[in-house]
Amino acid sequence: MENVIIVGTGCAGLTAAIYTARANLSPLVLEGRLPGGQLTTTTAVENFPGFPDGVDGPDLIQRMHQQAEKFGARFQFGTVEEFQSGKPHRLKVDGAWLETKALIIASGASPRYIGIEGESKLIGHGLTSCATCDGAFYRGVPVCVVGGGDSACEEATFLTRFASEVYLIHRRDSLRASKIMADRALSNPKIKPVWNATVTGYLVDAAGEVEGVKLRNTKDGSESELALKCVFVAIGHEPNTAAFRQALETDSNGYLVQKTGTRTNVEGVFAAGDVADHVYRQAITAAGQGCAAAIDAERWLADS
Ligand code: NAP
């Protein structure tokens, strides 16, 4: 029986691990499909306080991991398949059941794809959501980024290091991104915005690799095609709550609902970071929530 299990090793999970470990709760931390969370798929993080020259995302995560381990957090690879609330709470992880008094869910959110039929088969064959991971494979060829937020601008700017040109395909004619990120992207001569357009299909070559996209203009409905070698999708995220939705309250988009502080509707279960936050979604706010969840869990354990 564990005192506290933490699901997730992004900023929220690792901060919760540091705090619960320092409170001598010997947390068990579950590392899921993307150990380290979304920061492991970014490059420079320029807005995490304390790093005036920026910090490499994976590096920041590794430091948090070390810090948690130093205070006694234990790490285990595994994906939660099922959750049963109770005393104790039970989690089925890769076929085996674990029991815990308190549970902190910090399983984050995963990148969303467009939803075109057969899309999942193309992931890794010219379709991806991670420029940091796959950008270097597309040197000297045209690529596109789909989306108009900070992620899309960041990915597009990063991809100009490799690609011959980067089409930024957005469904409206103004970006959602913050001004600094938007200006940086739009002033880059390699980035070519394609306004008022949605991707309606992929063009695939004989080897099964993407060789272009079909576009529809959102204003006049006209259709066109664009030849390119890779599509980087940056249109937001889905919360990783599938295993918890039956037992815990979620909102209409599947995000866990926090009642008081980080408490969910179930006693002894706490939620932190992007799994419960579709508003701020920053590394620093996720870390802050991880801290709050650890303190909430610690106090709940002391009182129960
Ligand atoms: P986002 O802000 O939600 O932007 C998603 C973009 O995708 C929007 O432009 C949206 O269009 C578009 N979109 C959504 N669904 C679509 C669909 N089905 N087809 C076509 N386009 C679609 O997501 P994000 O860019 O991932 O950013 C998430 C959060 O992380 C934000 O708070 C952002 O500030 C933060 N972030 C920060 C940094 C940084 O500071 N370094 C970097 C990345 C992200 P509409 O605009 O029309 O809705």
The helix/strand count (H/E) of the chain reads as 7, 19
Ligand 1 atom 43: the closest Cα is on which residue? 151
Across the strands, what pairs with 96? 93
Q: Is 144 an active-site residue?
A: no
Higher pLDDT, 44 or 109: 109
Ligand 1 atom 7: the closest Cα is on which residue? 235
Where does the chain have alpha helices with state H?
11-22, 57-70, 119-122, 131-134, 150-159, 179-186, 283-303
Of the residues 56, 59, 130, 291, only one is catalytic, namely 130
Q: Is the pLDDT of residue 41 over 80?
A: no
Q: Is 230 an active-site residue?
A: no
- Tell me the percentage of the chain whose pLDDT exceeds 90: 88
Of the residues 133, 173, 183, 205, only one is catalytic, namely 133
Q: Is 134 an active-site residue?
A: yes
Place of tokens 């988009």: 253
- Residue 84: strand, helix, or coil: strand
Q: Is the pLDDT of residue 13 over 80?
A: yes
For the segment 225-276, what is each residue's pLDDT rounded down to a tens digit? 999 999 999 998 899 999 999 999 999 989 999 999 999 999 999 999 999 9
Q: Rounded to whole angstroms, what are the CA distances from 9 to 45, 92, 104, 298?
A: 17, 18, 11, 19
Ligand 1 atom 36: the closest Cα is on which residue? 150
- Residue 239: strand, helix, or coil: strand
185 within ligand 1 shell (Cβ under 6 A): no
The contacts of residue 117 (CB under 8 Å, 6+ apart) are none
How many Cβ atoms from other residues are within 10 Å of residue 12's Cβ? 36
The phi, psi pair for 279, rounded to 5°, reads -100, -60
User: What average pLDDT is seen over the chain?
Assistant: 96
Ligand 1 atom 21: the closest Cα is on which residue? 147
Domains and CATH numbers, the chain: 2-111+237-303 (3.50.50.60), 119-233 (3.50.50.60)
184 within ligand 1 shell (Cβ under 6 A): no
Give the pLDDT score at 33: 84
Give the pLDDT score at 244: 98
250 within ligand 1 shell (Cβ under 6 A): no
Ligand 1 atom 41: the closest Cα is on which residue? 45
Measured CA to CA, the distance from residue 100 to residue 5 in angstroms comes to 6
Higher pLDDT, 86 or 282: 86
Write down the pTM of the prediction: 0.79
For the segment 75-131, what is each residue's pLDDT rounded down to a tens digit? 999 999 999 999 999 999 999 999 999 999 999 999 899 999 989 899 889 999 988
Of the residues 134, 150, 274, 277, only one is catalytic, namely 134
Q: Are 78 and 31 contacting, i.e. CB atoms less than 8 angstroms apart?
A: yes
Cα of 152 to ligand 1 centre, how many Å?
Answer: 7
Q: Are 273 and 145 contacting, i.e. CB atoms less than 8 angstroms apart?
A: no
Cα of 112 to ligand 1 centre, how many Å?
Answer: 10
